[in-house]
Amino acid sequence: MLKKLTSKKTTYHYKSLSDKELVILYRRDNNSEAFNELFTRYQSKIYSYIYSMVHHPDIANDLFQDTFTKVITKMDKNYNEEGKWIAWVMRIAHNATIDYLRKAKRFVNITASKSEDEGTDFFHRVEDEGSLNAAELYIQQEDKKRMFKHISRLPEDQRAVVMLRHYDELSFKEIAEITGVSINTALGRMRYALINLRKYFEEEQPSENDHAL
């Protein structure tokens, strides 16, 4: 792999390169195009994770920017190429988010202050998923909104495990490392998260039936 990436000025087909190769190009050759490709691949997953944890667009923007400032400045020293790059970035994003939530809890209960309108901006920026007609699109949007609300009701530690698994497809070993717990604890949190979500869906059923009547 390293032999394939020459240090001379070469035009690469960045989309075909692996994360590891892109990281090498950025670290060794200061190739900003390689970083652009890495960023494009993962920005929505990282941003969605942060947003799902804080539920506020401005705060999510700040935390997202802080995360990437650390990624850019500390990648040379702190990132070990043996591990997945996205797992390393997610650890930074997770730590930034948890730090923010801990600080915020000292002053206000953010879950209590959440309004119904929050998240509107989020759903306006949801990535387009193809050619759906207006009715289908509306149903899908409503479904997504509902699901997002359910997930936002989960306790932070459970929500973090669900989102890290959902957005970044990380293994439980990686999730355990990022969140600083054992694999069994991470699995347990996922179990409780699924039990809670099931409960929320069941709570939702009667109200949907009421609307139908």
Partner 1 sequence: MHSNQTDVIRYVMDEMDPSERLTFEKKLLSDENLLIEVESFKNTWKRTHSVPKVSAPKIVQQQILSQALTHADAKSNTTLISIISTHKYKIAAGFVLIVTALFSWGPKGVLEQTSSLVSNNNDTERRLESSVTNSKDRLELGFENNGQNNVQDKSLKPWIDNNQVIRFAGTTDLELTAQPSLNLSSEYSNKLRLVNDKTGYSSQSRKILLTGNTP
Binding region for partner 1 (CB under 8 A): 26, 30-32, 35-36, 39, 43-45, 47-48, 51-52, 57, 60-61, 64-65, 68-69, 72-73, 76, 122-123, 125-127, 140, 143-144, 147-148, 151, 162-163, 165-167, 171-172, 184-185, 187-188, 190-191, 194, 197-198, 201
User: 127 vs 210, which CB is nearer to partner 1?
Assistant: 127
User: 108 vs 202, which CB is nearer to partner 1?
Assistant: 202
The CB-of-8 to partner 1 minimum distance in angstroms stands at 14
Query: Using CA atoms, how far apart are residues 201 and 205, in angstroms rounded to an integer?
Result: 6
**What phi-psi label fits residue 17: left (phi over 0), alpha (psi between -120 and 50 degrees) or beta?**
beta
The CB-of-192 to partner 1 minimum distance in angstroms stands at 10
49, 32 contact by CB (below 8 A): no
Find, among 102, 98, 118, 106, the residue nearest to 49 by Cα.
98
The CB-of-147 to partner 1 minimum distance in angstroms stands at 5
Query: Using CA atoms, how far apart are residues 62 and 57, in angstroms rounded to an integer?
Result: 9
CA atoms lying within 13 Å on the CB side of residue 189: 22
The CB-of-93 to partner 1 minimum distance in angstroms stands at 12
Which single residue is written with the structure tokens 């997930």? Answer: 151
The CB-of-106 to partner 1 minimum distance in angstroms stands at 27
User: 15 vs 106, which CB is nearer to partner 1?
Assistant: 15
Q: How far is residue 171 from each of residues 36, 157, 178, 190, measured CA to CA in Å?
A: 25, 16, 11, 12
User: 77 vs 106, which CB is nearer to partner 1?
Assistant: 77
User: 50 vs 91, which CB is nearer to partner 1?
Assistant: 50
